[in-house]
Each structure stands twice: as C-alpha cells, then as structure tokens.
Structure 1
Amino acid sequence: MNLNSIANLYSDPDAARLFFEKQCWPDGVVCPFCGLVGEAYRLKAKPDSKSPVRAGVWKCKGCRKQFTVTKGTIFEDSHIPLNTWLMAIHLLCASKKGMSAHQLHRMLGVTYKSAWFMVHRLRYAVTQEPMAAMLSGVVEMDETYIGGKRRASKRKTQATKIGAREKDYLGPVADKKAVFSMLQRNGDVRSHHVQRVTAANLRPIISLNVEAGARIMTDSGTVLHGAIHPRKHDQVNHRSEEYGRYERGICISTNTVEGFFSLLKRGITGIYHHVGSQHLHRYLSEFDFRYNTRKITDGERSVMMLRKAPGKRLMYRQLVPARSGA
C-alpha cells in the first residue's frame, strides 16, 4: 500500500470501508456489542422500500443490534470520510519524523481542528499496553528533556536579579519536560513522560515494562541505579568521554537509546515545533510505534495502525476540557 494505490483503489468512502472491514475483521465480522464472530449480515434496502439503509451497516444475529466497522473504534462518530482517514494513516506512518496537523490540514483539505483531532486519535490507537510483552535481554535506559531554549529576555532578567543567589538561578532543564525511555537491543522502545527523574518515579515504570532477569545499561547517573536495583546493571561514564566498551563480547553503551532520542527531538523540533506537556505522552506513543515497526514497509505499518483502532475511543472533550464559565 502506498499513496498511489490509496488514491486509485480507495478513492471513495465505500471502497475504503470494505478495506477497513477486511483489516479490522480478519476472522469474520465481530459484533461490538456482544462479541459474536461471523454471525452478522449486511443490511440492504429492499427494491420497493422507501426507507434507505446507510452504507456499511451490519446486524448481529445474536443481540439483533446494528453496527458499522467504525463502532467502538477511534473512527466512531467521525464525519470525515474513511478514505481520508486512510490517507492520514499512511502519511503519518510513512513520515519518519511524523507529520504535523497543519500539514495534514493542507494536504487532505480538512480543517486544522479536524486534522489535529485525527492525529491525536491515531496516536491514542498505538498506545502500548504495559505487561503485554515485557522487555528482556539487554535493555538500555536513559532520560532526555524536551523543550526549546529559554528566552533571552528571561535569561537577562534572571542574571540581573538583585540579591540573587547561585541556587536561585534556573538549571538548564528546569523548564523542560523529562522523557524516560527503555529500549531493548534489536527490539522495542517504550517512552514515558515523567514529572521528575527520581528513583521513586522510575521504579514502578521499570517493574511494569522490564523483566527481572534483563541486563540494564545506563550512563553514570545515580538516579537510575537506585531504580534498577537488584537487576544486573552496567554503566558507561560519559563524563570521562566513555561511550562504549566491550565486556565478554557484549557492548556496554547507551548509544541505541540515544539514537532514538535524536529521532524524537528532531521530530519535535523540526516537524511539530511545539508540544503541550499534557499531550506529550501521545507524541511519545507515535514515535515509539514508528520505531518499533522500523523493519517493515510503510504499507504494513499503516495496516498495523489501522488494526489497532478497534476497542479504543477518544473524545474531543478529553483532549480539550471545557473552560469554566464558558
């Protein structure tokens, strides 16, 4: 599947709906109400009927309820045609560093608000479940900080503050957001937005995502050491310009997870430019998904994202809470 095939084969919503049904129901039509598989039939209006039947409606023989392929998915109640959704999925999956909502808004002909809501629903669809498949073997861990440079006016005000002590000055990451990532060598990565990088915050995340017998590799920071104990732990000392060494045929380094951070930061800085802290965890899900599916084609990645849509629902009011007094 590529842009050319999507434009030629799924140029209308009906053709896209058939494709969605094939991918979301590979083992037969699944009723979203009772879970019955393969016991539903497509509704069609009789030739002499004055009551039209909406395209794509199915009826379950068990619970007798009607539904479509979008019921109980991130596409439910969306007025955007499914062929437009399919194009958005492919563009997001085929762009290594992501695609902004403004770019989708211009390319797909939808409003910016719709494009923004679309990409957030797609990010929610690919959210990884903890404990589903824990990381094992050699696992690299590190933290990074997301955020732009501090404004010059703010630095100047701080520097000229009368009576300011050294400890009153903001640190280099004081107004940035912390991201903690765990990456299995030749495997998956899992990233989390944490308020503070402390052993107390990181210990439950590591316990839910990493097997007890995994071999952990970090830099020389002391925070991770307290969160990892009692797992086997190796460190590299970046302060002494040590970035990798071999012990019994195993490379001790954090270069792989730092390579993932380079993709993440270039995507945030060059594509999205600004990310709200309340939405950062969904952006991390997007980058994790693309990295974890790096060994397959763009078309296969798009199909995988589509198959993750059932069973998940994200409302606009969950993303943008109503303002009080409005």
Structure 2
Amino acid sequence: MQHFLLSAQARTISLKAVFSMGEDKAYRTFCEMRWPETEGEAVCPRCGCVETYNITSRRKFKCVACHHQFSVTSGTIFASRKMSFTDLLAAIVIFVNGAKGVSSLQLSRDLDCQYKTAFVLTHKLREAMAKEMAGRQLDGTVEIDGAYFGGYSKPENRKEDRKDRRLKMNLTGKRQCVVIMRERNGKSLPFVVKNEGDAVPYVRDHVGTLATICADEGAGWDALHAGWETKRVNHSVAFMDKGVCTNQAESYFSRLRRMEVGTHHHIAGPYLYAYAGEASWREDNRRVANGGQAAMVTAAAMASRVSRQWKGYWQKTR
C-alpha cells in the first residue's frame, strides 16, 4: 500500500502555483483567511462594522462608522510586515512542506531575504500553530513519555581528563525535558519541564479523569496511579506488554530528534517549547495534504494577535 506522503492526494499546492497566482490573488487569499465569515470582505477590527471604504492605492480599508484605517494584516501576527503577500504565502508553503521542519537559513535563501527575517517569520508561524493547542483536553488512552534535550557537555581532548557525561555532577544544568501526552489516534500536547515528574501537574490540568494513561517505568510517573487508571511497560524488558506501550509518544520524539539532528541542529534553550509545539502540530496533521496544512497555518496566523515576543525581536537586547 502506498504511503500517504507519496500519493498525489498529499500534494495539493506547490511553489509554482503560488508564484504563478500573482500578488492580487495572494492578497485576496489573505483577505479570505482573515474574514472567512464575510467571504473576504473587510470587517473593522476596532468597532466590528462591515461597511468599509477600499483604499486601493495602499491596500487599506477605512471604516464607515469609526473612520479607522486598517489593512488585512493589522492586529495580526503579520502586522507591520514588509514582505509581499506572494512571498508570505510561499514562506508558509515552504514551511509546511518540510516534514522535519525547515531551517531559517534555507528559507532565507529560497525567498532571498535576510536570515533575521526568516528566523522571526518561522517563529511567528510556530506561535500561531501553538494557538491550536491552547486549553486542549485529552481523553481515551493517553500515552505519556519524556525526553531530554540540550545541556551538551564537550568532552576533554585527552582521555585521562574525560569525565562520565552521563552523571548528574558532570552535566551543564541546561538540560530540559520535553514531555509529550498523546491520545492514541488523536491529538498531542507537549510541555517543557526540568524533570519528567514535574509534568504531573500538567497531566492533572489536561487529561480527563476517565482516561487511561500508558507510561514507561520512570519513577516520575508513579504519582499518576493516584488519579488515573495507569498502565506501565518496562522498556528494559519489552517495548510492548499486553497492548501497553508508548509507541505514539516515541513516534513524536523520533520526529523531534530528526528536527534537531538534521534540520535545526540546536533547539534547546528558551525556545525549545516552540520547536516541541511545531513537532506536535506536524505529528497531528501528518495525514493532511500540504495545501490543507498551508491553509490551517495561514488561518491560524491571521486569527492570532500581534506577537509580543517576536515583534521587534532584533531591535531588543537579547
């Protein structure tokens, strides 16, 4: 049986189609994504009035009621953008086409823009993706597992000076744990904590009390038995025991590891949660055609407010 990603159904949009549609059609696409309830007709973001003047020379609108002037990206995550709508749409298509993510350097070369522009743009798209997971509740059979990222310790040159980098005393202290909670054949939800056991409060907030949790033998998950029907599998003995496994969680970590090793190379630090959320979104929508994925990301970006974290990122002290 042919894999979905190899089928024609997985390819419903291409860069060729984006660049051939022209700026006017790309602009119309963003209007329809911003105001789907009015089929792309402008709605004032200040007072909600549906009657507007169209200022065609500047691609802006003026509200009839409050006289507020706005554009299709005003108040969204793309506010104050300088890229053309065609390039924005192409960036989204390139972004979703990468099964294991797309590096900012590659995107900057594909679109002939600065690395800074591509870096901030991809993080804005990740922020829009994360809006879909806000307040998500998981039920049914939920698999949970954790994996550690970052905190690399460089080995010494001479063998006699080297230390066992697996020991806690020789770690840098920067290592973080990504915990994934994933429904079988359903949605997933990642968190970034210091240790696996620190994720238990998040489980209480986002997993239904009637759910069945599957976890490995890690001691951090012992507290789960007090609130849920919890089934454990000892990975030192078997990966699956009588139907109990964490294979769905391991599938998520496989994608995140490939993103780290093959694409981004460094996803640790303060933005690890953003890459973890991206991997979760890609896993949840892996059976959606790339055209559908591009539409989902565009709609999420147009529905998101101005990013307080990424607006003016390079003008601030980091």
What is the number of equivalent residue pairs in this alignment? 300
Aligned-residue RMSD, C-alpha: 2.6
Q: Determine the structure 1 residue equivalent to 2:316.
A: 322
1:228, distance to aligned residue in structure 2 (A): 5.7
Q: Is the alpha carbon distance of 1:168 and 1:209 closer, same or farther for their aligned partners in structure 2, counting shifts above 3 Å?
A: closer
Q: Determine the structure 2 residue equivalent to 1:26.
A: 36
Write the distance in 1 (CA, Å) between the matches of 2:239 and 2:195: 25
Q: Is the alpha carbon distance of 1:89 and 1:181 closer, same or farther for their aligned partners in structure 2, counting shifts above 3 Å?
A: same
Identity of aligned residues (%): 29
Q: Determine the structure 2 residue equivalent to 1:76.
A: 79
Q: Contact (CA 8 Å) 2:62, 2:70: kept in 1 or not?
A: yes
Q: Is the alpha carbon distance of 1:232 and 1:30 closer, same or farther for their aligned partners in structure 2, counting shifts above 3 Å?
A: farther
SS in 1 for 2:77: coil
1:167, distance to aligned residue in structure 2 (A): 7.1
Long gaps (5+) in structure 2: 1-12
Write the distance in 2 (CA, Å) between the matches of 1:320 and 1:181: 31
Bigger Rg, which one: 1
Q: Contact (CA 8 Å) 1:130, 1:209: kept in 2 or not?
A: no
Long gaps (5+) in structure 1: 45-52
If the length of structure 1 is used for normalisation, what is the TM-score?
A: 0.83
> Is 1:298 aligned to residue 290 of structure 2?
yes
Write the distance in 1 (CA, Å) between the matches of 2:90 and 2:54: 26
The amino acid that maps onto 2:218 is G
Which deviations, in whole Å up to 9, do the C-alpha atoms of 1:87-109 show, x marking residues without a partner? 11111111100000000011110
If the length of structure 2 is used for normalisation, what is the TM-score?
A: 0.85
Write the distance in 2 (CA, Å) between the matches of 1:281 and 1:108: 26
Q: Is the alpha carbon distance of 1:152 and 1:86 closer, same or farther for their aligned partners in structure 2, counting shifts above 3 Å?
A: same
Q: 2:48 aligns with which of 26, 35, 47?
A: 35
Q: Determine the structure 2 residue equivalent to 1:222.
A: 219
Q: Is the alpha carbon distance of 1:320 and 1:141 closer, same or farther for their aligned partners in structure 2, counting shifts above 3 Å?
A: farther
Write the distance in 2 (CA, Å) between the matches of 1:229 and 1:93: 40
Which deviations, in whole Å up to 9, do the C-alpha atoms of 1:125-177 show, x marking residues without a partner? 1114666441110000000012375322289686479xxxx977426x96532
1:288, distance to aligned residue in structure 2 (A): 1.4
Which deviations, in whole Å up to 9, do the C-alpha atoms of 1:111-133 show, x marking residues without a partner? 01111111111111111466644
Q: Contact (CA 8 Å) 2:216, 2:235: kept in 1 or not?
A: yes
Q: Determine the structure 1 residue equivalent to 2:9.
A: none
1:275, distance to aligned residue in structure 2 (A): 2.2
The amino acid that maps onto 2:306 is R
Q: Is the alpha carbon distance of 1:154 and 1:70 closer, same or farther for their aligned partners in structure 2, counting shifts above 3 Å?
A: farther
Q: Contact (CA 8 Å) 1:140, 1:257: kept in 2 or not?
A: yes
Q: Determine the structure 2 residue equivalent to 1:177.
A: 176
SS in 2 for 1:126: helix
1:276, distance to aligned residue in structure 2 (A): 4.3
Q: 1:265 aligns with which of 257, 264, 273?
A: 257
